[in-house]
């Protein structure tokens, strides 16, 4: 047995590998017994830097040095399944990296050769392979884009780096009937996964298998140095921003007048944030919202938070404390500081005072949550309301909800249980509850029940139904689960608008990743949409999108999911990123109108796709680039951009006891 693979550590690694294979690989449609078996055997942590080994069984790429990454497990499995490997095959891998993929291949085929451009990576890959005792592997340093003609032809070739075209020299090293899988793209951030089969001496068949993102293939037949991605020069753009941006000092100053004028008659104003823990973002968002309410008549404030928690607070804001659930702690689970902070509390105090001056209850401003994560508390709310209206119906609903009861504390386990076949899904039960309540709505209205109570009942029933689908999809596709969540947010926003009359207007508070327009970012290239995109499609120019950015300072965030709140220093923005450009403009704080810019050339200059930063409730500065940056086109993503060069963290309110395991926020956003 290789060193370090015994005892408790080896047992834990084996368990985590099994979970990875079941939840990330098999559950997402990889069926090759050979691949599944190999991935259960090969210890991925052995191919990672020591400081990154805690990420070994996360389905994500991890940096390994020299600007390279180890691919996420699912992508490795997908590429190998497309190759259709057989035990008698001889295989070539181009771009060995740390050696993980070639180690997997070695457990499936007779012989595998690998070429790695970077000498250090090639040496360390050899050492790891030898340590694990895999004797049918040969790794050498060299120009992988030229293949290995002295060992050709190959039954299969795996290219683990992206070429700007298909290297002819590689495909001609395939046997007749052999396959090559590689990512190809004319742009570094837009790549397609191709499977190429050689069917005769001169004929090749190509099939496309979705979008991917890989580091560039280097070498004589790889990325041309003129086409390879370079750090973009900021040129004169910082100077241009300095000239046209609208600077400000005091967050509550007169500078908001211009923004309110630019917002005009918009019905929806979506106000973002680049982190979930920056005081300035929360404070200016509240200041803008107060102006929209008091001067423009906005009647809804909808947040990226859970409905039952916001409803509890809204009851107090409306002066209806008798409708609040006793013992309920709003926003009492991780990440507590996201809404339980002094900045949000100040705004809620202002809103309560504002509402107290409005005589008619229907004219008061609503505070509502748009998110989908309240499975347990929404089930509880449905039953509590029904017990006051119709006890027999409450008992019937309780019986149907019992299907989900075992998963109340850890809903993510429900999705895993369904995907692994341990449990049948609860879709029919939760949908039948929602359907029956919708059909019963007219009868409930005629019995004199309050409109707000009925809306609360139906919304919680919708959340249970949508959350059930969300957790079922969570381990099948990150794109599907993300889209379900943001579709739910949009539907909830629409219901709030419809429920408050045709003249109602809403302010939305959520992360940039939700309120910007996804099609202007790499999210759109992955097939993801978001709340902001859905609002733009539905409300056209009546939706106004405000994004935020920062360069440095301190942020309130955790190091891992469920971790303690830390005040973490933010790394300066990466060279060539939008944030770096704004930092070099030497404007400490500013607004930059993008829908109607003061000078059109500023938007033309900003339209080139660049990196943009996103920090959620988790901040990992040690993996700054891979965890917190994505490509975007800023003027197509937002109508206005608010910049703070240096920021401070939110001030959390005293913590409260939180029960149960955390739900899953994709990417902590």
CA distance 511 to 272: 5
Instruction: Give helix 411-419 / helix 451-473 axis angle, nearest 10°.
Output: 50
Give which of 644, 642, 669, 335 is closest to 514, Cα–Cα. Answer: 669
Instruction: State the distance between the two ends of the chain, measured CA to CA, in whole angstroms.
Output: 42
**Residue labelled with tokens 């404007």:** 587
354 CB-near residues (< 8 Å, 6+ apart): 290, 293, 294, 365
CA neighbours closer than 13 Å in the CB half-sphere of residue 528: 24
7 CB-near residues (< 8 Å, 6+ apart): none
CA distance 492 to 473: 20
DSSP, collapsed to helix, strand or coil, labels residue 529 as: coil
Number of H helices, E strands in the chain: 25, 20
CA distance 178 to 369: 54
Residue 455 burial (10 A CB sphere; 0-12, 13-18, 19+): middle
Other beta carbons within 10 angstroms of residue 435's beta carbon come to 12
**Residue labelled with tokens 């990196």:** 611
Other beta carbons within 10 angstroms of residue 19's beta carbon come to 13
CA distance 146 to 167: 8
Residue 631's alpha-carbon distances to 225, 477, 514, 515, 522, in angstroms, are: 21, 21, 15, 16, 6
Asked if 658 is an active-site residue, the reply is no
CA distance 49 to 98: 9
**Residue labelled with tokens 């029960």:** 659
Residue 504 burial (10 A CB sphere; 0-12, 13-18, 19+): middle
Sheet containing 137-141: which strands, arranged edge to edge? 137-141, 111-116, 90-94, 154-159, 174-187, 190-198, 204-212
From 13, 37, 52, 71, the catalytic residue = 71
CA distance 182 to 161: 7
Q: Kindly report the backbone phi and psi dihedral angles of residue 55, in degrees, each rounded to the nearest multiple of 5, phi listed first.
A: -100, 5
For strands 366-371 and 268-271, give the pairing.
Answer: unpaired
Report, as residue numbers or ranges, the catalytic residues.
71
């Amino acid at each position: 047995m290789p060193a370090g693979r015994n005892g408790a550590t080896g047992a834990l690694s084996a368990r985590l590998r099994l979970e990875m294979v079941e939840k990330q690989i098999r559950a997402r449609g990889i069926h090759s017994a050979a691949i599944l078996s190999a991935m259960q055997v090969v210890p991925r942590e052995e191919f990672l830097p020591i400081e990154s080994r805690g990420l070994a069984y996360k389905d994500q790429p991890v940096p390994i040095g020299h600007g390279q990454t180890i691919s996420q497990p699912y992508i490795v499995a997908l590429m190998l399944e497309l190759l259709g490997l057989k035990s008698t095959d001889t295989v070539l891998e181009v771009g060995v990296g740390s050696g993980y993929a070639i180690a997997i291949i070695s457990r499936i085929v007779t012989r595998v050769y690998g070429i790695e451009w970077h000498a250090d990576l090639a040496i360390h890959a050899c050492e790891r392979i030898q340590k694990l005792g895999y004797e049918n592997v040969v790794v050498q340093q060299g120009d992988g884009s030229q293949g290995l003609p002295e060992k050709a032809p190959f039954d299969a070739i795996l290219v683990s780096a992206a070429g700007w075209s298909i290297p002819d020299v590689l495909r001609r090293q395939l046997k007749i009937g052999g396959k090559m899988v590689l990512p190809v793209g004319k742009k570094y951030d837009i790549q397609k996964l191709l499977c190429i089969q050689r069917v005769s001496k001169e004929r090749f068949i190509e099939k496309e298998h979705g979008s991917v993102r890989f580091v560039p293939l280097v070498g004589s037949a790889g990325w041309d140095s003129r086409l390879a991605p370079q750090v973009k020069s900021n040129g004169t753009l910082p100077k241009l921003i300095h000239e046209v941006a609208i600077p400000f000092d005091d967050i509550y100053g007169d500078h908001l007048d211009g923004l309110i004028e630019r917002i005009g008659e918009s019905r929806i104003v979506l106000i973002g944030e680049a982190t979930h823990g920056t005081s300035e973002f929360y404070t200016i968002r509240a200041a803008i919202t107060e102006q929209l309410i008091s001067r423009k008549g906005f009647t809804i404030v909808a947040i990226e938070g859970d409905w039952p928690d916001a409803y509890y607070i809204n009851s107090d804001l409306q002066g209806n404390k008798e409708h609040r659930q006793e013992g309920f702690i709003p926003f009492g689970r991780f990440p507590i500081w996201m809404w339980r902070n002094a900045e949000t509390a100040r705004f809620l105090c202002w809103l309560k005072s504002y509402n107290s001056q409005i005589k008619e209850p229907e004219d008061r401003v609503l505070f509502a949550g748009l998110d989908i994560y309240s499975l347990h508390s929404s089930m509880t709310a449905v039953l509590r309301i029904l017990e006051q209206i119709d006890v027999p119906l409450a008992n019937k609903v309780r019986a149907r909800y019992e299907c989900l009861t075992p998963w109340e504390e850890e809903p993510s386990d429900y999705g895993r249980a369904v995907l692994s076949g341990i449990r049948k899904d609860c879709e029919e039960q939760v949908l039948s509850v929602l359907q029956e309540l919708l059909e019963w709505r007219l009868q409930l209205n005629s019995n004199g029940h309050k409109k707000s109570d009925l809306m609360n009942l139906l919304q919680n029933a919708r959340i249970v139904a949508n959350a059930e689908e969300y957790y079922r999809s969570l381990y099948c596709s990150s794109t599907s689960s993300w889209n379900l969540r943001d579709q739910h947010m949009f539907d909830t926003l629409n219901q709030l608008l419809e429920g408050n009359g045709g003249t109602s207007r809403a302010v939305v508070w959520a992360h940039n990743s939700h309120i910007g327009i996804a099609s202007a970012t790499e999210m759109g290239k992955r097939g993801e949409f978001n709340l902001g995109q859905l609002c733009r499609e539905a409300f056209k120019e009546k939706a106004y999108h405000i994004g935020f950015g920062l360069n440095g300072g301190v942020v309130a965030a955790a190091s891992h999911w469920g971790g303690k709140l830390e005040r973490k220093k933010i790394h300066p923005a990466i060279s060539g990123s939008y944030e770096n450009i704004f930092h070099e403009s030497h404007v400490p704080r500013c607004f930059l109108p993008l829908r109607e810019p003061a000078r059109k050339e500023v938007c033309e200059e900003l339209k080139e796709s660049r990196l943009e930063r996103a920090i959620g409730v988790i901040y990992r500065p040690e993996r700054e680039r891979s965890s917190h940056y994505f490509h975007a086109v800023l003027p197509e993503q937002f109508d206005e951009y608010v910049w703070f060069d240096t920021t401070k963290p939110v001030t959390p309110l005293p913590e409260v006891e939180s029960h149960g395991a955390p739900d899953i926020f994709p990417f902590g956003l």
